[in-house]
Structure 1
């Protein structure tokens, strides 16, 4: 990159400053909402949405000054969408506590050292989540997801599972390409399932593949 140039990739904007330093911050597409849905949670879940945009702010902002600017933008956006200042402040405090900042940071701006520690923890957490995601994807390559129809009682459901397992072992259990595949049962909706719904290997809802934040 040449000095003074700017590029963006997904949600990150990278610029080459006059001091010959690469800087980054959150990138906003002017054609979409100022706070797009950056998590798998619905927009109505404001607590998890606030956590997601704060997480993104630390991940993308290369300096504490850029983070404070983004934090003010987040606070203003949530205020204008109907959230109270108490709700926003409480969400920010919980976010800081989760990543090991002291309560002193809640009432004043972070300094460079505090922000560097916070960002390092976020980067480590991001790397861990990516590693876990790859592990889940690798595991899913050897998993057959089968939806479970909503039977009237547990006995019918148990008989259904037993029949599927026996059928699988009989026809595929000893095949080199399929003998290591594990069956995982997925809760279905109340609608009736066709044969193709039952036999096709389908991916389960994202909630079954994502680690929950505690």
Structure 2
């Protein structure tokens, strides 16, 4: 679920698109037998990990969402750099 949410943030440029994708991901998990608690827990962990608890409350505006996307892209870049250094 976390990787799907990351992908959603990467590809969804508006908060509305992201929320639609998040709802779709939640429904897909529920339709495949995952419990509501499991889905809520993993979504909560995603937002906490990326320091985006406002987004979790669904009250984020477009400007805040863009800042969140920027943080996520920076995190991904840092992860790639770390892995490259580790391989060297």
TM-score scaled by length of structure 2: 0.83
Q: Which has the higher strand share?
A: 1
**Counting helix residues as a fraction of each chain, which structure ranks higher?**
2
* Cα deviations by residue, 1:130-151 (Å, 9 ceiling, x for unpaired): 11222233x2xxxxxxxxxxxx
Give the CA deviation at 1:67: 0.8
8 A Cα contact 2:55 2:65, kept in partner: no
**How many angstroms apart in 2 are the aligned matches of 1:84 and 1:93?**
14
Partners of 1:109 and 1:135 in 2: CA distance? 38
Gaps of 5+ in 1: 1-49, 140-214
Q: 2-side partners of 1:95 and 1:51: how far apart?
A: 6
Alpha carbons of structure 1 residues 75 and 109: separation in structure 2 relative to 1, 3 Å: farther
Name the count of aligned residue pairs. 88
Kindly provide the CA deviation profile for residues 11-52 of structure 1, in whole angstroms up to 9, marking residues without a partner as x: xxxxxxxxxxxxxxxxxxxxxxxxxxxxxxxxxxxxxxx111
Q: Aligned to 2:37, what secondary structure does the other structure show? A: helix
Bigger RCO (CA 8 Å, 6+ sep)? 2
Structure 2 stretches lacking a partner, 5+ long: none
Asked if structure 2 preserves the Cα contact closer than 8 Å seen for 1:93 and 1:106, the reply is yes
Q: TM-score, normalised by structure 1?
A: 0.38
What RMSD, in angstroms, separates the aligned Cα atoms of the two structures? 1.7
Structure 1 segments (4+ residues) deviating >6 Å:
none
